[in-house]
Structure 1
Amino acid sequence: MNGFVALARAQWKGFWRDKQNWFWLMAFPLMFLVLFGFLFRDAGVSKSTLTEIGSVAVIDQLPAEARNQFDNLFEVTKTTDSAKALEEVRKGDVDAAVEQRGNEVILHYSQADQVKAATVRGTLGAFVDGANVAASGKPPAFTLNATAVEDESLKPIQFIAPGLLGWAVAMGAVFNAAMPFVNWRTNKLLRRIRLAPVRTEALVASRLLVSIAVAFVQMGVFLAVGVGLFDLRLTGSWWMAVPLLLCATLAFMAIGLIAGAISKTAEAASGIANVIIMPMAFLSGSFIPLDQAPGWLQTVSKFLPLGQLNQGLLDTMVRGDGPGAALVPMAALLGFALVFGLIAARLFRWED
């Protein structure tokens, strides 16, 4: 136990004395959070672009309240050139064009973007239905009250912060395992530790303790910057991020031990770690949300440890889910930790 405590204390001090760790594991991922946070700080729902050909009475004569809603949904330009308006729709410069012939309202749209076309058709159709009700003087038999599942506080930062936090923790755990063990092996420090009255389990456990502590420091810094600077709102069982990060650190440290075991130099270990983490970050939604990604990419992310971590963080910190939403990602991460840990133990070497 004394050997474990001594090793943990020495490694903790060594981590913070190395200024490169300050940059790569703290400042570097935090820089992405600040950059994306400022870029998407004022992002909102994009409007559909609509060209009004000639006079469209249904739109021009909307009541003040309805017109206000219409302007919030559509960015309207007016023209009398029908051919030019239709050509802009074909090219995708505008989402749709509308004209009115007597009591008939004609909407021109392109089938190239079926999602946008359906949105414009449905929204404009609602306004036309409202105009029909106003003209007939008869209220509709049924009313629809549409409510978004997210509240108004749901800003892009709430999707950005969990993904970048997952990437930062993964990168920290992998590098915290790969780099030190390679350096210790090449400078013969591992050989000296082996001759000392210290068990291998104590050496690995002390490094794991340092990695877990660093992960929690990263979490604290990310949340402080997100909440204080970008109005990040934590919802649901956000505190479940703590056991999630604990399980993730176990999994990614095991990956780092494998990278360190098969590398003969620190440079090679760094290269292997980057080859593992960076593609995984893109495939797991650390930089871009996967909600609108192709189905195959969403499937791939479920088989990656970082994909499981990001999913768990999003569900518990952003989407307002309960503690149960973290159980499957935690189980998957522990499974990855067990498999990679057994491989790392098999490949572990005290000397080159």
Structure 2
Amino acid sequence: MGSGGAFASLSLAIMRGFVRDKASVFFALIFPLMFLVLFGGIFSDQDQSRIEMIQVGDVSLVDEMPAEAKTAFDETFEITEESDLDAALEQVRKGDADVAIEEQRGEIVAHYTQAEQVKAAIVQGTLRAFVDGTNVALSGAPPAYTLKTERVEDDSLSTIQFVTPGLLGWAIAMSASFGAAATLNGWRSSKLLRRLQLAPVSTGTVVAARVSVTIGIALVQMAIFLGLGAAAFGLQLTGAWPVAIPLLVVGTLCFMAIGLLSGAVAKTTEGAVNMANFLVLPMAFLSGSFFPLDAAPAWLQTVSHLLPLRWLNEGMLDVMVRGEPWTAALVPMGILAAFAVVVTGLAAKLFRWETA
């Protein structure tokens, strides 16, 4: 049998094993989709940190606030000044700021981003409170200021756009790491690795079969997520979203490496899967898969940038939702690829053919 036939046979055997393993199918497809449906319509309240505001030009509201209100305003908002409205809107759109305000003949216009649903509501409510408070302070005259709010994104964008990338990233991370961990340890425990080593099949063929199946599953997950989001929740992708496909492939390889490390260290298949779960599940909470991290302490946000899932999530969010060009995915792809190489090397160093 040639290398091509061996590759096809191994890939088919691995795929059949995946399909027959109900737990693998559940955790790779059904379980993540449950969260997609849940987070697509329900969001819990969160405490918010200081709001980052860009002031475009002169805004007399800020100068005419009573002293007490001005102190509270400064404690609530972290203000930077910008003369170019388009530049300010771009910062809000990218998530570098929460709101940009300008004044148009007594009307305060607040430009906010829909990417963070909870913060968007808080920004609008807080600004309205300060506007109303200033109007009351300037009593004896008609209201001096009115507030108008505008989204920086296209009106066609909805909540599901911002939920899907994070949940998809978590699903890919979980499926790839669990599959690699279970396969490596299971094959080692059953002595299948030894038999494959003696068989007329190259190591490269075995590895290629395992990788191709895992990537194929990841692409199926992506198709199901996007299909369900579009059919059930009105998902509309924007920007250079096809670049999310190679980004997803690199992310899959990265989390396969984590699974290989778990499989190399653990002595049983159950232990390998549990170790992968121990690594991936907390990472999902710390990487913005389930909820935004804007309210998290600064040190926790710094830690999250050390996690590969954060880069996968941010990269997909940039090209699928924020309208960033395809180049926005290059840095996340580079970081994920480097992480995959380092972790795979560590797994190879720690791997033993026989469990002690």
- 1:114 and 2:122 are equivalent in the alignment: no
Q: Which has the larger radius of gyration?
A: 1
Give the letter aligned to residue 114 of structure 1: T
Aligned 1:160-309 pairs, distance under 5 A: 160-309=163-312
TM-fit CA distance, 1:21: 1.5
Give the letter aligned to residue 76 of structure 2: Q
- 1:27 and 2:30 are equivalent in the alignment: yes
TM-fit CA distance, 1:316: 0.9
Q: Which residue of 1 aligns with 2:107?
A: none
TM-fit CA distance, 1:158: 1.7
Distance in structure 2 (CA, Å) of the matches to 1:181 and 1:119: 55
Q: Is the 8 A contact 1:236 1:320 kept in 2?
A: yes
Distance in structure 1 (CA, Å) of the matches to 2:153 and 2:325: 15
Distance in structure 2 (CA, Å) of the matches to 1:278 and 1:240: 26
Quick one: structure 1 residues 349 and 5, their matched pair in 2 at CA, closer, same or farther if it must change by over 3 Å?
A: farther
Quick one: structure 1 residues 199 and 147, their matched pair in 2 at CA, closer, same or farther if it must change by over 3 Å?
A: same
Q: Is the 8 A contact 1:190 1:351 kept in 2?
A: no
Q: Deviations over 1:240-286 (max 9, x none)?
A: 11011110011110111110011111111111011100111111011
Aligned length in residues: 286
RMSD between aligned residues: 3.3
Q: Is the 8 A contact 2:250 2:336 kept in 1?
A: yes
TM-fit CA distance, 1:109: 11
Helix, strand or coil: the match of 2:151? coil
Distance in structure 2 (CA, Å) of the matches to 1:271 and 1:37: 28
Distance in structure 2 (CA, Å) of the matches to 1:250 and 1:290: 25
Distance in structure 2 (CA, Å) of the matches to 1:230 and 1:196: 50
Q: Is the 8 A contact 1:158 1:232 kept in 2?
A: yes
Aligned 1:19-168 pairs, distance under 5 A: 19-40=22-43, 111=72, 114=76, 119-124=127-132, 147-168=150-171
Q: Deviations over 1:278-307 (max 9, x none)?
A: 111111011111234332222222211101
Distance in structure 2 (CA, Å) of the matches to 1:145 and 1:200: 64
Q: Is the 8 A contact 1:158 1:233 kept in 2?
A: yes
Helix, strand or coil: the match of 1:197? coil
Q: Is the 8 A contact 2:66 2:137 kept in 1?
A: no
Q: Which residue of 2 aligns with 1:76?
A: none
Quick one: structure 1 residues 309 and 105, their matched pair in 2 at CA, closer, same or farther if it must change by over 3 Å?
A: closer
Helix, strand or coil: the match of 1:290? coil
Distance in structure 1 (CA, Å) of the matches to 2:31 and 2:300: 26
Distance in structure 2 (CA, Å) of the matches to 1:204 and 1:349: 17
Give unpaired runs (5+ residues) of structure 2: 46-64, 78-121
Distance in structure 2 (CA, Å) of the matches to 1:135 and 1:15: 66
